[in-house]
Structure 1
Amino acid sequence: MTDALQRLSEEGVAIWLDDLSRERITSGNLAELLDQQYVVGVTTNPSIFQKAISGGGDGYEQQLADLASRGVTVDEAIRMITTADVRDAADILRPVFDATGGRDGRVSIEVDPRLAHKTGPTVAEAKQLSWLVDRPNTLIKIPATKAGLPAITEVISKGISVNVTLIFSLERYREVMDAYLAGLEKADARGLDVSTIHSVASFFVSRVDTEIDKRLDALGTTEAKALKGKAALANARLAYQAYEEFIASDRWEALAAKGANPQRPLWASTGVKDPAYPDTLYVTELVAPGTVNTMPEATLEATGDHGEITGDTVRGRYDQARADLDALAELGISYDEVVQLLEEEGVDKFEVSWNDLLESTKAELGRLTPKEA
């Protein structure tokens, strides 16, 4: 069951679970995944919390009742609930954090997605979340929007570790790495120990194929059909090439000499959306050292059950990856248009989930608020 997951670990791929709920924490399921499935980290996002909390079940009823009794705002209630889950998960993962020197054993929590296009409020929210969770093995998730880039630099410069999310384009990924370096340089100038700062860059995978395959289907030609299912892997592999260039730069080596940690590429959105593709496609075909693959539980189980890990499936494939993206351009599919659309949709989807969470939590607080005598 776990041979493939063990092989991933041996190839230098860290396995993180893309899911969190109170039931998963209190039932012992999360601890079990650490022990049996090689899971060494957890990521969350507004969609995950919306699914976990809506309806008030799975262990949230008592906290919701207490918050209702206090008369807190819905925004405060959500932050109290989500940070409690992240804090408890961080405690479960603390032994991994200690054993890996802070590299893994981390839990991510995202800034309010409504702030995605606001730099100052994003920085303030990141500082607040870091303070609320109060665990060294937390990563604050900041979206890789234009406004998010300077926020990443500022948050890193304050010694707060960051998971940069919603990266779709190679150009934006390079900007993210530059923002990380700038943050480390500012932290170093402030006298902070840069060896305590960590970061991952969440490069989204499956959504690229979903959007581009739709356009290929609309073309309907033999050439178009031959390119289906290739764009996401090509994009991710070229991102890893950019990462290799990043860690070979003089600027990075100067920081590494001071103990800085590389910003690891993290493959996000690795659940396969098209049933025509193998359900482990975005795991087995994106094996490279120093990466993180964050998987929904179904993908984790599929990989453990029948995933075939054949070694590094990224390096040495850059020329083909570039050729695949070039072939899409020749068919009239604009890479820049697609990745910009995906970024906008990604932010919008998280905001919709957050608003749904606000509404459902507001309803639960109203239901549980003590009635006046």
Structure 2
Amino acid sequence: MSDRLKALADAGVSIWLDDLSRERIETGNLADLVKEKSVVGVTTNPTIFQGAISNGERYDAQVRELVAAGKSVDEVIFALTTEDVRNACDILEPVAAATKYDGRVSIEVEPGLANDFEGTIASARALWAEVDRANALIKIPATVEGLPAITAAIAEGISVNVTLIFSLERYQAVMDAYLTGLEQAREAGLDLSTINSVASFFVSRVDSEVDKRLEKIGTDEALALRGKAAVANARVAYGAFEETFSTDRWQQLASAGANPQRALWASTGVKNPDYSDTMYVIDLVVPDTVNTMPEKTMMAVADHGEVKGDQVSGTSAEAQGVLDAVVAAGVDWAEVMTLLEDEGVSKFKDSWTDLVASVQAQMEKAAQ
């Protein structure tokens, strides 16, 4: 087992792999990562599935069967992805049984539904029923339309990974949506202890956009702030998490068996080669959080990541000072947050289009 990854896990960070493929499942690679690299969860998205399905022959037999059965491309995608997630859930089930919150595998609602409440909750129900594993998480984007879908899913006992969170304001709305869902579930007589959730707060994309604006401004003060906004934004968010999950409202739910909605650091692969390739992991170490990493980032941490203990608790005020300085330098923070969410939804939709095209090509090949 990697000593550095073990040190990260010992510091209270749950290491989740941001990748999944049938090859990882069938070759035992995923099981090995669980055993040897402290991996205790998996996240997926349309880009990950597009790469897995287009590059792997392990899907061919199932595609042929589905084509012979007259299934549409959307039905084929649904069948392929839910099977992978179900099998990954089975591999992670011992982790789920041994821990309170880990051993989870996420699958995303169709991105085209990001601004469609009814479509999102219908998709979440269908995925939850098809995967049929208690340790699954259904990914719902934190759009304005996604917020009531989060509440509705939680109220029905569906565990949720809320994705595409960038701003503090939206994160606070996500936590409120979660608590409201738990309150409705309690009123309906559901066992709150069976409901799990994480809130995926995106990191690296914040620096990518803010740095570009700071460089355009070009002052010494602006340039000195490059590479600081993303970690500061996440640290401020963690302060909001601590505040929300210490309220009387939360304590009443916790006494009824509810689980906290853990903060999950997403988009933790470093995009700027001038920065440390482990900064969005090492600088965001804090107990009882999740960091979902591409394998490249995870291996970088295993190779040279220096875990220095809790880097987040008690830093919210200082981090807010960094964000205030970014605004004072001339960056329109609200505009950045809106742009990142819009781009995030757009990128997921584009990835879904690519996934459909890849599966359609596989189906045409299978029909020959």
Same fold (TM over 0.5): yes
The bucket for the TM-score relative to the shorter chain is over 0.9
- Secondary structure, counterpart of 1:127 in structure 2: helix
Q: Cα RMSD over matched residues?
A: 0.9
Is the Cα–Cα contact under 8 Å of residues 217 and 330 in structure 2 kept in the other structure? no
> Which of 151, 173, 183 is the aligned partner of 2:149?
151
CA distance in 1, matches of 2:174, 2:189: 23
State the TM-score, normalizing by the size of structure 1. Answer: 0.97
Q: Which amino acid aligns with 1:59?
A: R
**1:50 equivalent in structure 2:** 50
Q: How far 1:316 moved relative to its partner?
A: 2.6
Is the Cα–Cα contact under 8 Å of residues 151 and 177 in structure 2 kept in the other structure? yes
CA distance in 1, matches of 2:139, 2:47: 14
**1:349 equivalent in structure 2:** 347
Is the Cα–Cα contact under 8 Å of residues 22 and 58 in structure 1 kept in the other structure? no
1:32 is the counterpart of 2:35: no
- Secondary structure, counterpart of 2:308 in structure 1: coil
CA distance in 1, matches of 2:87, 2:67: 22
- Secondary structure, counterpart of 2:62 in structure 1: helix
1:204 is the counterpart of 2:179: no
Q: Which amino acid aligns with 2:304?
A: H
CA distance in 1, matches of 2:286, 2:195: 22
**1:77 equivalent in structure 2:** 76
CA distance in 1, matches of 2:301, 2:221: 31
Q: For 1:323-369, what per-residue CA distance to the aligned partner results, in whole angstroms no more than 9, with x for missing partners?
A: 11111111220111101100000010010010111112112111211
Q: For 1:79-130, what per-residue CA distance to the aligned partner results, in whole angstroms no more than 9, with x for missing partners?
A: 00000100110000000011113x1101000000000001111111100000
> Which of 121, 124, 127 is the aligned partner of 2:122?
124
**2:225 equivalent in structure 1:** 227
**2:88 equivalent in structure 1:** 89
**2:284 equivalent in structure 1:** 286
Question: What pairs up with 1:236-251 in 2 under 5 angstroms?
Answer: 236-251=234-249
**1:298 equivalent in structure 2:** 296
Q: How far 1:166 moved relative to its partner?
A: 0.2
- Secondary structure, counterpart of 1:293 in structure 2: strand
State the TM-score, normalizing by the size of structure 2. Answer: 0.98
Question: What pairs up with 1:293-372 in 2 under 5 angstroms?
Answer: 293-370=291-368
The alignment of Structure 1 onto Structure 2 pairs a total of residues equal to 368
CA distance in 2, matches of 1:143, 1:242: 19
Question: What pairs up with 1:265-280 in 2 under 5 angstroms?
Answer: 265-280=263-278
Q: Which amino acid aligns with 2:142?
A: A
Q: Which amino acid aligns with 2:88?
A: A
CA distance in 1, matches of 2:345, 2:156: 25
Q: Which amino acid aligns with 2:327?
A: A
Q: For 1:4-48, what per-residue CA distance to the aligned partner results, in whole angstroms no more than 9, with x for missing partners?
A: 211111111100000001111111110000000000000001111
Q: How far 1:162 moved relative to its partner?
A: 0.3
CA distance in 2, matches of 1:263, 1:6: 23
Q: For 1:32-65, what per-residue CA distance to the aligned partner results, in whole angstroms no more than 9, with x for missing partners?
A: 000000000000011111111125x241111111
CA distance in 1, matches of 2:102, 2:27: 22
Question: What pairs up with 1:162-241 in 2 under 5 angstroms?
Answer: 162-241=160-239
Q: How far 1:66 moved relative to its partner?
A: 1.3
Q: Which amino acid aligns with 2:297?
A: T
CA distance in 1, matches of 2:209, 2:135: 34
> Which of 80, 102, 105 is the aligned partner of 2:103?
105
CA distance in 1, matches of 2:171, 2:6: 29
1:18 is the counterpart of 2:18: yes
CA distance in 2, matches of 1:161, 1:286: 24
Q: How far 1:2 moved relative to its partner?
A: 1.6
- Secondary structure, counterpart of 2:292 in structure 1: strand
CA distance in 1, matches of 2:57, 2:21: 8
